[in-house]
C-alpha cells in the first residue's frame, strides 16, 4: 500500500518536473522569437511541409520546426524568402483555426513542389 508520505513525495516530484518542462518550452519559444527578429528566412530543413496543401502561388504550405502552437501555416516560398511578390499568396492559416496534414511517409509532402496556376 502507498503511504501518504510516498504520495506527497511523488506530488512534489511531479510539480518540480512540470515546472522544468514549462521553463524549457518557454525558453524554446523565446529562442524562436529571437531567431525571427534576427533572421526570418528559413532553410528547407528548418521547415515542416504540408502533405498536400499548396499556397495559391503554387508552393507548398509550411511552418518552422521550432515554432509554438500559436503559429500558423504559411507559404514556404515566403518562409524561405524566395516568394514572388507579384502573385497572390494564401493568407496565414493559424494552427488553432485550420487543420492541415503535415508531411509524412504515409501522407506525402509538398516539399520541393511548385505547381503554379495557369490562367
DSSP string of the chain, one letter each residue = ---HHHHHHHHHHHHHHHHHHHHHHHHHHHHHHHHHHH-----GGGEEEEEEEE-TTSBEEEEETT--TT-EEEEHHHHTT---TTS--PPPEETTT---PBPBTTTB--TT-B-PPP-
Provide the whole-model pTM.
Answer: 0.81
Q: Where are the domains of the chain?
A: 1-39, 40-119
What pLDDT sits at residue 117? 73
Instruction: List, run by run, the mean pLDDT of 10-residue segments along the chain (119 residues).
Output: 95 96 94 93 96 95 93 96 94 94 90 80
With a CB cutoff of 8 Å and minimum separation 6, the contacts of 108 are 51, 52
What pLDDT sits at residue 107? 87
What pLDDT sits at residue 47? 96
Cell numbers at 87, concatenated: 502573385
CA quadruple 37, 47, 42, 60: dihedral sign = negative
What pLDDT sits at residue 118? 67
Nearest Cα to Cα of residue 114 among 61, 73, 72, 42: 61
What pLDDT sits at residue 116? 81
| Cβ proximity of 61 and 75 under 8 Å | yes
Amino acid at each position: 500500500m502507498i503511504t501518504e508520505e510516498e504520495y506527497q513525495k511523488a506530488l512534489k516530484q511531479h510539480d518540480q518536473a512540470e515546472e522544468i518542462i514549462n521553463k524549457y518550452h518557454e525558453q524554446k519559444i523565446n529562442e524562436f522569437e529571437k531567431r525571427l527578429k534576427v533572421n526570418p528566412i528559413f532553410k528547407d530543413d528548418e521547415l515542416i511541409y504540408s502533405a498536400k496543401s499548396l499556397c495559391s502561388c503554387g508552393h507548398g504550405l509550411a511552418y518552422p520546426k521550432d515554432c509554438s502552437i500559436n503559429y500558423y501555416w504559411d507559404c514556404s516560398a515566403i518562409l524561405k524568402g524566395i516568394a514572388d511578390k507579384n502573385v497572390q499568396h494564401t493568407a496565414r492559416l493559424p494552427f488553432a483555426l485550420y487543420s492541415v496534414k503535415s508531411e509524412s511517409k504515409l501522407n506525402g509532402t509538398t516539399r520541393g513542389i511548385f505547381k503554379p496556376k495557369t490562367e
